[in-house]
Amino acid sequence: MSFAKSTFHHKGLPKNELGLTYRDYEGALSTLCAGCGHDSISAAIVHACHELSIEPHTIVKMSGIGCSSKAPNYFLNNAHGFNTVHGRMPSVTTGANMANQHLTYLAMSGDGDSASIGLGQFAHVVRRQLNMVYMVANNGVYGLTKGQLAATSDKGVKNKAGEMSLFNDIDLCCMALQLGASFVARCFSGDKRQLVPILKAAISHQGFAFIDIISPCVTFNNHPDSTRSYDYVQQHVTAGAITDYVPIKEEITSVAGDGEYDDICLHDGSVLRIKKLDQNYDASNRLTAMIDIEEHKKRGEILTGLLYVDPTARSFHDINETSQTPLNQLQQDVLCPGERVLASINKSLR
């Protein structure tokens, strides 16, 4: 077995507008377990960014600690990454975003990272309406420490060692909705058809985009007692809607009169086209989204898809009225008031 990733590029690989193939969006060879759902997420990110023709180096990959947080190593080699400390990725991403609001911040976190040690930071980065994509690779288990139950584990399920989860689970989508996230989705890592367009939409969304991605842990949480196993999720997943992402430059065909579709125009002019499977599903209603999530959960189902979006949301920098020039590019002549001003300040203190 070789640990070196092949650098071979098939000549026929399709190129995007920048002339890059999806291989230009890949990362290092994954060291996660074979079959890990997180690798599927990495693959979906590679495809989404390639299809959006984003320059890889304009993306910043942020993460905390855990299996999920290792994942940014495995996509976008030409992007800077920051594997911070457990549960504290949101604050570091906030600072990075303050320094340069024009880069794209793709953050990977896990259930332990976001729902336990980092729950406080998660809550507050939602409140701050930071323009970022916040993904939780949610496998309901602590992988790196070998199988402890997570706060997102459903009450009553057992881990591989037979220990039962005695307490209510934390539903991060409901939390994100309650705290004011302007884009909330839940996906299954095994459903690339659903995940890629939602990722693309989340990246285009100017505001806080949250995606809870059920991502089974093949080693510690893929057993019959788990509600995060491949089998369980595949059998109980319900799509609230099928989402298509229509980039700004593509023609949007009329769907007038067809009650099955919703077209939502994002800030950059791209369109989110939602085909409703449930006729009553309304992705613009924060309150009903929470109710729908809970009702599906009661039935043992996992509601996936784009759960809520507010395309008119304002992000931190809009609210703060920050300079359009990234703060990390402001020069000394703009930042430093100089001797003359200091002399007048000194004078006022005599």
DSSP-derived letter for residue 164 is B
Q: CB of residue 128 vs another protein: minimum separation in angstroms? A: 7
248: left (phi over 0), alpha (psi -120 to 50) or beta: alpha
Q: Which residue's CB is nearer to another protein, number 17 or number 250?
A: 17
Q: Which residue's CB is nearer to another protein, number 107 or number 196?
A: 107
DSSP-derived letter for residue 270 is -
Q: Is 211 helix (H, G, I), strand (E, B) or coil?
A: strand
Q: CB of residue 158 vs another protein: minimum separation in angstroms? A: 31
**Contacts with another protein, residue ranges (CB under 8 A):** 55-58, 60-61, 72-73, 77-85, 88, 90-100, 102-103, 120-121, 123-124, 128, 316-317, 320-325, 327-328, 330, 332, 334-339, 341-343, 345-346, 349-350
254, two tokens: 């009329």
Residue with tokens 């199988």: 147
Q: Which residue's CB is nearer to another protein, number 284 or number 325?
A: 325
Q: Which residue's CB is nearer to another protein, number 69 or number 304?
A: 69
Q: Which residue's CB is nearer to another protein, number 145 or number 235?
A: 145
Query: Cα separations (Å) of 286 from 173, 185, 186, 291?
Result: 11, 12, 14, 9
Q: Which residue's CB is nearer to another protein, number 103 or number 271?
A: 103
Q: Pick the closest to residue 106 from 165, 48, 31 (CA basis).
A: 48
Q: Is 232 helix (H, G, I), strand (E, B) or coil?
A: helix
Q: Pick the closest to residue 171 from 106, 235, 114, 239 (CA basis).
A: 114
- Phi–psi pair at 81, nearest 5 degrees: -130, 155
Q: Which residue's CB is nearer to another protein, number 59 or number 264?
A: 59
Q: CB of residue 309 vs another protein: minimum separation in angstroms? A: 25
Please, what sign has the CA dihedral across residues 36, 38, 40, 46?
negative
Contact between 119 and 96 (Cβ < 8 Å)? no
Q: CB of residue 122 vs another protein: minimum separation in angstroms? A: 10
326, two tokens: 């990234």
308, two tokens: 């809520």
Q: CB of residue 186 vs another protein: minimum separation in angstroms? A: 25
Q: CB of residue 336 vs another protein: minimum separation in angstroms? A: 6
Can you say how many angstroms the Cα of residue 69 is from the centroid of all Cα atoms in its chain?
12
Q: Which residue's CB is nearer to another protein, number 281 or number 316?
A: 316
Q: CB of residue 60 vs another protein: minimum separation in angstroms? A: 5
Q: Pick the closest to residue 60 from 150, 4, 130, 128 (CA basis).
A: 130
Please, what sign has the CA dihedral across residues 179, 155, 307, 100?
positive
Q: CB of residue 285 vs another protein: minimum separation in angstroms? A: 28
